[in-house]
Amino acid sequence: MQPEAVELVVFAAVALVVALMVAQPAASRRALLVRGGVGLAGTGAIVAVPTFDLALLVLLVLALLHSVVDAKRSFAARLRLPAMGVGLLALAIVFARALGPDVLDRFAAVGLAAGLAAVVGVLPYVHSFDAEEPASSSPIAWLAYVGPAVAVVVVADAQGLLGADAGAAFSACLLGLGLINMVWGSVASWLTETTSAAWRYSFMADWGLALCGFGITLVDGRRAALIVLFSIVLGRLPLYLASREAVRERVVTERPINLLVAAALAGSAPFAGFSARVLLLRGATQLYWPLALVLALGMLLWLPASLRLGRSLGVPRGRHALGVAAVLALNVAVGLYPLPLLAAARL
């Protein structure tokens, strides 16, 4: 088992507890607990199974289960892209295991990167989204709950499946996908009409950073990716859940808490996103300095979108305020001292 992946499953468990704290009505909390528990068990199984084939099959089970829960979108719309992701990953296995010319390994690299993007729901395979859908049955479950552990499993297994040349092609694919998602996600999050959609695009932008981290094959890249995934699971996801009520009622506030949340979402110091960005820039500079320049320019795009999302949180009260405070405190702790997190993942 990958220690990084195990850590992400633990983060998902904590995120479920925080989600239960910030969820509004009691009935929805019960449904959230059941769905979140099933999702957590499935994610744990993906991490725990001994072979990649089994992980793909568990992923397909999870996709089927996620598609049958009550939602606004049709069953086919919900199953389509995760199933296609499993198919692409299966094709990648065929190419990686077959004996033949080296170009087959490169096809495998492309299949692994594309399959990962399709399962998670980032560009170019963005899942359809309905703002009125519960978070547990929306694409956010793939982006922020199941996806991070799946990404770590796919990247780790890719290292075993691909040779050095194809491994470089895989890294290049991840970097390309990462840069596209960074720019598209942050610009769309800033300019899109509805606030719910803006939240969804902001997850994609964060995924761009994580994919770039995985693409930078140095240890700093892996560290950055882990911290970005932490900030998705235990930062952006709980804040998104806490903001849903205010977004639905179209409440916009500009209190200090909103600015604080905006800073956390933008990856400012001292939050976790800042240390991830520093590690990412350091890794990119070691690998190829113009890449660091592009990443630094891309990171500036987070600011306007984060200010918008921070304002959409409203003024949290009671249990909500407690949940938001816990999330911000966790992110500050990891931002100031990420070493225990990285040591637990053996990075």
Partner 1 sequence: MVEGAGGFLAWLGASLVVLSDGRRGLALGVLLAGAGIALVSLSTAGLVGALALALGGVVAAAGRLVSGPPGWAIMPAGSTPRLVLCLASGIAALWVGLGVTNGDGASLRFAVLATVGLAGARALGSADTATVLTAAAVLALAVGGAAGLGGQSPYAAPYLLGAAIAAASSWIPIRTPQIPTKSEDPRPGPRSGSVSGSP
Q: Is 205 exposed, middle or buried (0-12, 13-18, 19+ CB in 10 A)?
A: buried
CB of 261 to partner 1, least distance (A): 15
| CA-CA-CA-CA torsion sign (340, 341, 346, 347) | negative
CB of 25 to partner 1, least distance (A): 12
Q: Given the complex with partner 1, which of 100 and 318 has the nearer CB atom?
A: 100
**Site string (134-173) toward partner 1, x via CB under 8 A:** ----------------------------------------
CB of 28 to partner 1, least distance (A): 13
Distances (CA, A) of 229 to 107, 154, 199, 280: 27, 14, 16, 13
Q: Given the complex with partner 1, which of 197 and 321 has the nearer CB atom?
A: 197
Q: Given the complex with partner 1, which of 200 and 223 has the nearer CB atom?
A: 200
- Both tokens assigned to 90: 């299966």
Is residue 68 a contact residue for partner 1 (CB under 8 A)? yes
Q: Given the complex with partner 1, which of 33 and 57 has the nearer CB atom?
A: 57
* Site stretch for partner 1 (CB under 8 A), options 19-27, 191-199, 216-224, 336-344: 191-199
* Site stretch for partner 1 (CB under 8 A), options 22-30, 32-40, 90-98, 333-341: 90-98
DSSP for 169-233?
HHHHHHHHHHHHHHHHHHHHHHH-SSHHHHHHHHHHHHHHHHHHHHHS-SHHHHHHHHHHHHHII
Taking the CA atoms of residue 324, residue 12, residue 173 and residue 343 in that order, the dihedral angle to the nearest 10 degrees is 90
Is residue 99 a contact residue for partner 1 (CB under 8 A)? yes
Best CA proximity match to 280, nearest among 209, 340, 338, 204: 209
CB of 39 to partner 1, least distance (A): 17
* Identified binder of partner 1 from the candidate list 83, 112, 135, 328, rule CB under 8 A: 83
Best CA proximity match to 128, nearest among 143, 113, 115: 143
Q: Given the complex with partner 1, which of 71 and 237 has the nearer CB atom?
A: 71
CB of 62 to partner 1, least distance (A): 11
Is residue 192 a contact residue for partner 1 (CB under 8 A)? yes
Phi, psi of 148 (to 5 degrees): -55, -45
Is residue 57 a contact residue for partner 1 (CB under 8 A)? yes
- Both tokens assigned to 206: 């964060």
Is residue 72 a contact residue for partner 1 (CB under 8 A)? yes
* Identified binder of partner 1 from the candidate list 25, 27, 100, 256, rule CB under 8 A: 100
Alpha carbons within 13 A on the beta-carbon side of 166: 24
Measured distance CA(127)–CA(30) in Å, rounded: 26
CA 289 to chain centroid: 26
* Identified binder of partner 1 from the candidate list 6, 20, 48, 61, rule CB under 8 A: 61
- Residues at the contact surface with partner 1, assessed by CB under 8 A: 49-51, 53-54, 56-58, 60-61, 63-64, 68, 70-77, 79-80, 83-84, 86-88, 90-91, 93-94, 97-101, 104, 132, 190-193, 248-253, 304, 307-308
